[in-house]
Structure formats: structure tokens, C-alpha cells
Amino acid sequence: MDYKLSLDTEIICRTPAFSIYDEIADNLEELKGMIKEASPSFFQIICDLKKEDLINQDDKVAYTLWKYFNRARHRATPFGRFSGISVVPQQKQGLIVLNDNLTLLHFIDWQATSVQLANTVAHFKSSNEYLLNASLYKVGHQYRYIYLDKGRFEIAVIPEFPELRLIVNFCNKKRNKSDLSEELFKAMDLDKASIDQLLTQLISLQVLISDCTPNITGEDFFLRKVYNKVNNYEIPYIIAERKVINGGYNNSLNKHLTELVNFLNNHLPESINSNFQAFIKGFKRKFELRFIPLALALDPELGIGYANLESNQLHNAALTDRIKYKNGAQLPQINYDPFLVFLLNRSMQGPIINLEDFNSEQPCTTMSLPNSFSVILHHFESLGIIEHIGGATANSLIGRFSLGVPAIETMGKRLAAIEQEANADILFFDVAYQAERHIDNVNRRKSFYNYELPILSWSCFDEPLHIDDILVGVLENEIILYSKKYGKRMVPRIPSAYNYHRSDLPLFRFLCDLQHQNIRTKLSFKLKELLPELDHYSRVIYKDLVISPESWRVPGDLVNELINDKKNCNNIIQRWLHQINLEVPFTVGEGDQTLLIFPFKDDDISKLTTYFLKNAGRPIYLSEAFVTDDHMITTKSGKPLAAQIILNYTHTQRVYSTVDETVRGIKYHSEHTMIPPGNKWLYFAIYSHPGRFNDLLQNPIARFLKTHRKYIEKWFFIRYDDHGPHLRLRILLKKSEHTFLLIEGLQQVLNKEIQTGMIADMQIKSYFPEITRYGIDRLSYIEDFFYYDSRYAIQVLKKKIDNDTFYQITLMTIRLLVTSGFPIVTERLDFLNYMALSYSKEFAMGPDDFKLINQQTEQLQRNFTEGKSHFNIVDIQKLASRFAQLLTRASDRNDKYMLAADLIHMHVNRLFISDQREQEAILYQHLFKLLKRQQFLKEPKATEALL
């Protein structure tokens, strides 16, 4: 699929502080001022340095000074005074003239916020407004919420009490101190001293967030709240802007760029987020197709957590992980799809790979492009050199500059509006997060989106989002967030370049990852990322665009030679560069440590030697740099600048589907009920090999249930794989005093299997009724159905029949359940189609799979006679009647579908010893095809009931 892409009306130009031709001696004093802000400790070493002393510095000082100047001339990536940004219009003229000097916008550094949080009493006295901690949620008779303690996140717990319950309900939007105090006085009869003490304590516990708490988004915190203590903070946070004198950017230079974007979207292999996949799998196993509170899902004790981040709270977690995985480290896994095979083959054939030579009958993926994304490039002669294409939103690269550049704020809101207009009825929201004061300057930004979820931050929104309002579910293998309050699907959009993988907060990491779900957010690549560990990588081009530069791995033998012959290092390196025919400028290093080297400059080669020696033993790559003499972007005085261009592309096609409105009617229950052993419910977990389960159910367990039936009101079983395969046998006793009698009875009938090791373990556990999944008002009816379904399942398992007949009976049983629950044929077809489609997407079924299923369906249709002879119509009709009665308790169509799917899922679970979900996927395909065939042939209703 090709997208029609539009370029935003303005582009961003990023330029280093110095020109590519500037010399360090002529700019030493300015460079020292820049270093003072970037590295105060190094500045103390060089503060008195004069230009005539440059040649007399020791190697370490000289190397560090050279690195800073290298960055200030050749790297346009934002970093204090080292580079600046410009907002440039589009126009046909291709020359851009910028101011010689940077305009420095000074802000108080974010580290100064620690002053505001040091004294809770002073914090309270200065506060005027309050918000509830947006992460707070209720579990039983206590509240849980995210708490930050000395830079580490944890889940804190506070018991419920009347005053807190009132505050929680009242402060769901901003409340001023007098209104909150008056509410507490009227409802709780508290005097002013008691109210002040309570609110101070809740601020200290981070249950309440006051307007004295720093806000990372919206109006700058230090302008909103002026404090004398921080006005003279020694080192400021600086955003550097370089004003445009005249000219504009000529986009005709990029006539093939949109072609490249569509080509890469169609052919690049899809990246897999393993944390996302694990969450989806765990969620579906525990909650199936239900929507539950997001807070519950991410709670590691009550839900499933995310990315195993709770383990990061353990002492020495990083070290234990290193030891744990030291011997099991895996090499990068490469999925050799046709595109990667093409790249690998062509890389062996020459120095240039032209993507136009790639031929494929069909695209590798069908991923959507985000409605806005960024391209970073620079120009070299007639070529465009791609440095980055992607982002969940183009706003992620520009957010930080909105703090001081009004044109950037306007641009961000314009891009956000395009995203919103293309996806009507989707609630896009920002996530206000702060945790690392020495880094969080990059997170500071104005608000681009209409909604915000603050995490331990003040919010400039009157009614910010609250986690307790957010439901999460998995539909067709896609994670969906849903707002109960607004009745809309929710999608996070975080306009920040902050590396969120630094965070160990599950909620934030989950929402950041969710931005990238099912959209293509990384379109650029470097060949060594796709094909790691090679010694040489060819240049990759598409028409007049360079996607990946030619690169060479520095041989370990070369580094060893430098170590052993330090007097001839420059000659050794020059000889090797000549051997690989690298005679143009190149880069070495990664990310912030990237350095530009001119091979014809002895000083650069000397500094390259130092780099090689400092990084001996590590893989080192050199990459061609494409440094141009074309002065397309210059200063007013005519000095050329090594500029980066940021192009923001948009499209107006819908990316996110809305969620069926019946989701609003989904019933869920936030209470978490536990029934411990000793009450009427008795719950056994019996661990054994899955192949033994049927024998255990048919023989010793069946005998046990029959012998003790006078003590039992109902029972049911489920097969599970968590923490090892096991049967879960749950029994409701008529009287709790019979508990130990039944424990002893089950131990006796299973004694032989326990002694022989056929049963590896047997545990007695607390029973957690699935109130969230089924709803408290119908839980007992669900348990009744499970009882009759378990009895029926054991009857089927006892039949001496072959696998084909067993499968036919299962198919006919489910068919009768569906017929009873959905008596209207069109509704029945709709349900089966919905389930078949959902499972086909989950298991990525393709044409070959459907062909085999169709063949099996035809065979089943011909051989139903044998299955019917073993089909107990009386028992199944009783079960079908209960099934239909249960479905009448559904609140709406969606709830009815989910409930039916749950009951059938558990039925399949009880019958099949393994791969139950895969079996279920195939069964729904058969059922849907049989019903469609039946409708086409208009067979009699009597036949319909059985087939």
C-alpha cells in the first residue's frame, strides 16, 4: 500500500555552533564557555588556557578539547550552546542564510526542582490547588498508587478511611485549598488544624499532587511558580536558536523521498517487541477478551505486570541478570526474509546496493504509517543522505524546543491536529513523566494534545486523565485502551525525544511502547543493524538517496599493531585507509560519541589513534561521512554550516479503528476477592504430565467425587500451564467443616500416583473468583455451568472412541451450544464469523492454512454419522439450555459475544490435553464454514441442530 504524503509547510534546520572551516584557536574562548556548561569539571582544567598554549597540552586534555570542538563544528544534534535550531519556510530558492550567532534562550535547569520538594510543610503552605495522584486505584479496602522514593518507583499502599475516600472522589479534577477544606469541614467536621495536617501528610505520601509540584508539560514550571531560591541557579538549561535571515528550503531536492518511504514500508521486515508479545499472551491467558482496569493489568501481584520491570526493584537486579544470562547469551536473531536476503547477497557483490534492483511479488508487511513522522537528512552534492525516518509522531523530535520557540509550539499543535482529524473519535493523550532531574530538561515541553495523563507531575489541564478511568483489552491481537469517561479508544502520543528505555516504571514503559503498536515507526536503517558482525557493509541507495553509508570494521590486528608501535601510529592508520580505499571524510563512534575525521589531517589521525586505543577490544566501525563543499546553508558572513534538515511528513488516512460502542457496557469489578482454604471453596492444584490428566479425571478423581458427593454442592476443573502443567480442581462444600475430610479423601485416591511420581506435586490454594472477568452478579451461574460442563466433559473423555469421533462430538457439542445461545441464524453467523476472524488474525492464518481447514471440513461433513452415534443429545441439551440462560444475563451484544467465547473456551480447555487455543481456532473455522454451507443448502432445522 502506498501513502500519499504531504510535507509540512515549515521545516527545521539544525546547525552546529561553528562553521566547518572554523579553527579552534580562533574560537577558544567561546568553546570554553560552552564547555563550562557541558562539563564544569573539565572546564576547571582548561579555564586559564590560552590559544598559544594549545600545542603544549597533554594528550588527554588535548583529545577531550578536540572532541568538544569536533562536535561544535560537525554535529547538529541539539546540545546546549553546541548547536541551534531554525524554523525555515519552504520556497523554490534553495539557499538558506542564517544568523552568525546563536540566540540563547535561558531556563532554570530542571535539577533545581529538588529545592521545591525538600520541605513538605513549606510545600503545603505555598500550595493553592490540588489534584489526586493520577495513578491511584482501589483494591479492596485500600488504595494503591505509584510512589517515587529517591529516584526509584514503587507501588505504595494506603488503607481506605472516610476522609481519604472523600478526597479521592472530590479531587478527580483540580480543587483549590479553600474548597477542599470546606468540603472536609462540612462532611467530616474537621477543624482547620486537622485539615492542614491531613493534607500535608497526603502531600508527603504523594497521594495528593499540589500546584507546587513541578509540571513537565505546559507553561514552564519556573515561570508559573517563581522561587527566589532557584533564581540564581548556577548552570542554566539552554535552548539555542539561530534566526533565519533569508531564503528557504527547496523540497524538490527530495523528489524521490516519498517513493523511498513507501518502498521501505512495504518491504522492511516488521520488528517484534517481545515485551508487547509477552503482555498480549499473558493478558489473553488470564483475562481472555475482557476489558479490565489498566492499573489492575499492570499490577504485578494482581495482574500480569509489564516487561518484568518489577524485578528491577530488587537489590543488585542488574548484576543478577548479568550472572543469570552470562552463559545463555544469544546472538542477534536475523529473520532472513526476501529483503534481507537481497541485502546480504548484494553486499557480497560490490560497494553499492541499489534498492531499485530488489524485486518482490508482494510486500513483506501491511503496517500503517503514522499520520505524522520525521525525516532527518543532509545534502551532499546531488545526494540526500538519510539519517533517520520514523517516529510514532513527528512531534517526538520537536517537543523540547516548544518551550522557547513559539513557531515550534504552533508546528506541534498543527501536526497533532492532523493526527486527530485523521482519526476521529480517537482520544490522543500525552504522558507527563519526570524521574531523572539531570536528564528531564529534554522532557520539558508545551502541550500539543488535548488530553494528558500526569505521572507524579502537576498538570496544567483542569481535568487531566486518571489511570482509574482507563480500561485495557486485547482484540484481534491488538492492545486497546478505552476511556470509560469519554467513551473513546485511547492512544498515547508522547512528544519527547527522551530515551524511555531508561525508565523502570511499567506504566510509562507500557504507554511508550504502545505508541508504536501496529504502525511503522522506524523506516531508516543502517546495514550493520540488520546484518550484524560483518567486516564490511556496502552503501545502500535508492535513486539519489543514501540510506546506509559504506562502513568498515577496524581489524583487531590493526589496533594491536598500534599498541605495539605507538611511534608510527599515523603511518599505520594511513596505510590501512589506503588499503580499503577510504580517502574521504568518515565518522567513528556511535550516538553522542560520533566524531568526524578528515583523513588528510594529521591531527585528526592522531586523535583517531587515541580513539582506537581507548576502545581496544570493542568493535569499531568507520563510515563514510559525505561532507560537502556545497554552501546551501551558510551564515550571514558566508560561512558554511554542517546542517541537518528535519522534514515533517503527514497523511490523512485513518490509522486507528474505533472500538465498538458496546465496550462501554462491559461489566468489570474492581474488587479483588480471595477465598482462603478452610472456607466452603476447596481448591486443589494437581501437577502432572498433561498426558496423564485424562486418566486422573476419568478414574481416581471421578471415584473421589462420586464417593464424596453428599458433601459437595458443585465442582469443576480446568487445565492450566502456569508454572508447570496442572489440573485445577475447585470444589464447593455444603459445609466448611468437611474440608479436611475431602483433603484426606483426595490424597487417598491419588496416593498411588503420588508415590510413583506420576503426580509431581499437589497443592491446596486460595480461590480467587474471576469477578473481573465474569461480573459478581452472575459468578454463581458461571460456576454452575462449569459444574455441568465438567461433568459432561468427563463423560465424553470416558468414551472409548478414536480421535476423529472425539473431534466430531466436540464440534457438534459446540454447535448446539451456539445454536441455543444464538437462535437467530444471522446473529449466529455473525458470532462465528467474529470468532473465526479473531483467531485467524491471532495465529496469522494464511491461504495454505485455510486450504487444509477446508479439506478437513469437507471430511467432517461426510463422516458425521459415527460421531452422532456417540452423541448424548439429552445431556448436551441440558448443558445448552444453561448456556442459553447464561447469555440472557449479558448486558449487550459485545458482552454476550465475550461471555459465549469464554464459556466455549473453557469447554475446549476441559476436553483437549494440549494446544487448546489452537484447537479452538480451528473449531471456529469449521463451525463458520459448516453454518454458511448449511444456509446455502437450506438444510432442515433438525439437521441444523446436530451439525
Query: What pLDDT shows up at residue 869?
Result: 58
**508 in Cβ contact with 494 (< 8 Å):** no
Spatial separation of the C-alpha atoms in residues 80 and 33, rounded to whole Å: 11
Query: What pLDDT shows up at residue 365?
Result: 64
Q: Is the pLDDT of residue 900 over 90?
A: yes
Q: Is the pLDDT of residue 941 over 80?
A: no
Q: What secondary structure does DSSP assign to 184-238, as a single string? A: HHHHH---HHHHHHHHHHHHHTTSEEETTS--SBSS-HHHHS--GGGTT-SS-EE
Mean pLDDT of the chain, nearest integer: 88
Q: What is the pLDDT of residues 767-802, one digit of tens each?
A: 877 776 777 788 899 999 999 999 999 999 998 888
Say what the pTM is. 0.80
Find where cell 518491504 sits: 267
Q: Which residues pair with residue 384 across a beta bridge?
A: 379, 545
**Residue type for 174, please?**
K
Query: What pLDDT shows up at residue 572?
Result: 95
Strands 244-247 and 208-210: unpaired
Outline which parts of the chain fall under CATH 3.30.1490.
550-624
Cβ neighbours around 502 below 10 Å, total: 10
Q: Which H helix or E strand runs over 132? A: strand 129-132
**Residue type for 82, please?**
F
Res. 765 pLDDT band, cuts 50 70 90: confident
CATH number of 118-213: 3.90.930
Spatial separation of the C-alpha atoms in residues 298 and 747, rounded to whole Å: 37
Query: What pLDDT shows up at residue 766?
Result: 82
- Rounded alpha-carbon distances, angstroms, from residue 76 to 10, 409, 572, 624: 18, 21, 31, 17
Q: What is the pLDDT of residues 684-733, one digit of tens each?
A: 999 999 989 999 999 999 999 999 999 999 999 999 887 789 999 999 99
Q: What number is the average pLDDT over the span 881-900?
A: 91
Between 868 and 883, the more confident residue is 883
Res. 135 pLDDT band, cuts 50 70 90: very high
Q: Is the pLDDT of residue 858 over 50?
A: yes
Res. 920 pLDDT band, cuts 50 70 90: very high
Q: What are the grid coordinates assigned to 715, written together?
A: 465442582
The CATH class, in words, for 550-624 is alpha beta
Q: What is the pLDDT of residues 398-455, one digit of tens each?
A: 999 999 999 999 999 999 999 999 999 999 999 999 988 888 999 999 999 999 999 9
**443 in Cβ contact with 507 (< 8 Å):** no
Outline which parts of the chain fall under CATH 3.90.930.
118-213
Residues ≥6 apart with Cβ < 8 Å to 130:
171, 174, 175, 176, 177, 180, 199, 208, 209, 210, 211
Q: Which H helix or E strand runs over 542? A: strand 539-542
Q: What number is the average pLDDT over the span 661-689?
A: 69
